[in-house]
Structure 1
């Protein structure tokens, strides 16, 4: 059983997943800081410091704080947009690297020489006798 657990725990997929979770958590804190410390204050300045958290309605004895919900939706949209822009930037760099990798390397001198020999042999074989 210990051997099976070791095999399971050290499989590539499990390690990749663990690394992804750790990096995802670190990335999440970066995005949260970007949204909370940079983007949200700038939007607050543009909108005159509007905060929907205080909006509420009373129905009987229940207090419905729909403003907190609205603020959460706005925070989600800001976070989603920030992640979208970040991923878009990363994909743009990735795409440029892929374009560089797709360019075939120039043929070596040996390949050029072999191509010439091949072409000459084709010409000789196609000549009428």
Structure 2
């Protein structure tokens, strides 16, 4: 049973899948960092200095006691976080598109040389054509 498991794990498909999952996690972390730390501040700067992650619609305010301790947290729709997620999705999709495009380009076999123009008729074919033409003229 251990040998079968070892054979299964060592197949190319399982190894490829494991590498893909690990790379996907790493790419996701890099893209999330890029979106949250670089892109969103730039977009927020041009959108009246708004930080999208703070955008929300408050449905119910937080309830505080006399000391200012939160008894019941606010209920809010955090649509700014959703905007960040959508932008992250678009960037991840674009990065994956570029990766797949580069992969397909690298895998594509070199275009074969253009097929040679068909050679002219052989001597036998020319002789047969002359015979055919001569017979047509006799009729």
Q: TM-score, normalised by structure 2?
A: 0.65
After TM superposition, give the deviation of residue 126 of structure 1 in Å: 4.0
Among candidates 51, 57, 68, match of residue 59 of structure 2: 57
Asked if structure 1 preserves the Cα contact closer than 8 Å seen for 2:55 and 2:80, the reply is no
Judge which range, 52-61 or 77-86, deviates more: 52-61
**1:66-119 deviation line (CA, Å, top 9, x unaligned):** 1xx212210111101212332344455556x37x84632256xxx78xx64x73
Residues 1-129 of structure 1: pairs in structure 2 closer than 5 A: 1-51=1-51, 53=54, 55=56, 56-58=58-60, 63-66=74-77, 69-90=78-99, 93=102, 97=105, 101=109, 103-106=111-114, 116=119, 119-120=121-122, 122-128=125-131
Partners of 1:16 and 1:94 lie apart in 2 by 14
Q: Find the aligned partners of 1:50 and 1:119 in 2 and give their Cα distance.
A: 77
TM-score by length of 1: 0.69
Ranges in structure 1 where 5+ consecutive residues have no aligned partner: none
The higher radius of gyration belongs to 2
What is the RMSD of the two structures over their aligned residues, measured on CA atoms? 3.2
Report the Cα distance in structure 1 between the residues aligned to 2:94 and 2:29, rounded to whole angstroms.
16
Q: Deviation of residue 6 (structure 1)?
A: 0.6
For residues 4 and 25 of structure 1, the distance between their equivalents in structure 2, rounded to whole angstroms, comes to 29
Query: Which one has the bigger helix percentage?
Result: 1
CA gap of 1:2–1:88, structure 2 versus 1, over 3 A, is closer
**In 1, distance between residues paired with 2:103 and 2:20?**
18
